[in-house]
Amino acid sequence: MTDAAEQAATATLLASEELARSSYLRITRDDVRFPDGTEASRTVVWHPGAVALVVQDEDGRWLLIEQYRHPAGRTLLEIPAGTREPGEPPEATAAREVREETGYAAERLEHLGGAWMAPGFTSEYIDFYLATGLRHDPLPQDHDEFIAPPRRLTVAEVRAAVATGEVQDAKTMVALTLYGNRGTDGAKGLAR
């Protein structure tokens, strides 16, 4: 880490004002002071964290879902994912979300790593899992989700979908990297 990065890492919170709150998000305006005395305001979207799943069938194909994403204004092709309940371990979220979004339960969940998705404005951290040993065992989808049955794509087809722009979802792109790092020099992806 550079000296400037070291100093920035030690910013002091001076004040925090809650601007908005929803069922699982908070938005604050935080005033901070950096070690050199510089003060700044930051608007932060506080998120409880999430999981994203590489759901892989017995033939090695990934189960991707098509889900309407309102901020994007369109349906996106992506890996299944979901927000953690307060205090919920990420493994429990992963086990629930795979059933809700694909209709399959996973016999095995392997942690691949994690990533801050947009740390310039949100605290959202996503833990990534590989879900294998699938058996049909659906849970009802959330009342506000409209997810089509999953599409099965080989890893090469997922890469091609990213290359052509069919997949524009960042977590799916991160999952490709973390999945590709499995077993490489013992790496298990990025850690928080």
- pLDDT band at residue 24 using 50, 70 and 90 as cut-offs: confident
* pLDDT for residue 182: 85
The CATH number, out of the four listed (3.40.50.2000, 3.90.79.10, 3.40.50.300, 3.40.50.2300), of the domain defined by the range 50-180: 3.90.79.10
Is 173 a residue whose pLDDT tops 80? yes
Tell me if residue 145 is catalytic: yes
Of the spans 47-51, 180-184, 186-190, which averages the highest pLDDT?
Answer: 47-51
Q: What is the mean pLDDT of residues 27-32?
A: 94
Helix 170-180 vs helix 155-164: angle between axes, to the nearest 10 degrees? 140
Q: How far is CA 160 from CA 14, 39, 50, 58, 163, in A?
A: 47, 45, 26, 21, 5
The Cβ of residue 36 has, within 10 Å, a number of other Cβ atoms equal to 8
pLDDT band at 5 (very low <50, low <70, confident <90, very high): low
Domain edges within the chain: 3-46, 50-180
Asked if residue 105 lies in contact with residue 92, where contact means CB atoms within 8 angstroms, the answer is no
The yes-or-no verdict on residue 113 having pLDDT over 60 is: yes
Give the pLDDT confidence of 149-166 residue by residue, as tens digits. Answer: 899 999 999 999 999 999
Evaluate if residue 100 carries a pLDDT over 50. Answer: yes
Tokens 């309102």, located at residue: 70
pLDDT at 3: 63
Higher-confidence residue: 183 or 127? 127
Given 58, 124, 145, 157, which residue is catalytic? 145
pTM as predicted: 0.86
Residue 70 in tokens: 């309102």
pLDDT score at 95: 96
For residue 143, the model assigns a pLDDT of 67
Q: Would you place residue 11 in the very low, low, confident or very high pLDDT band (cuts 50, 70, 90)?
A: confident
CB contact at 8 A, 179 and 155: yes
Return the higher-pLDDT residue of 170 and 140: 170
pLDDT > 90: percent of the chain: 72
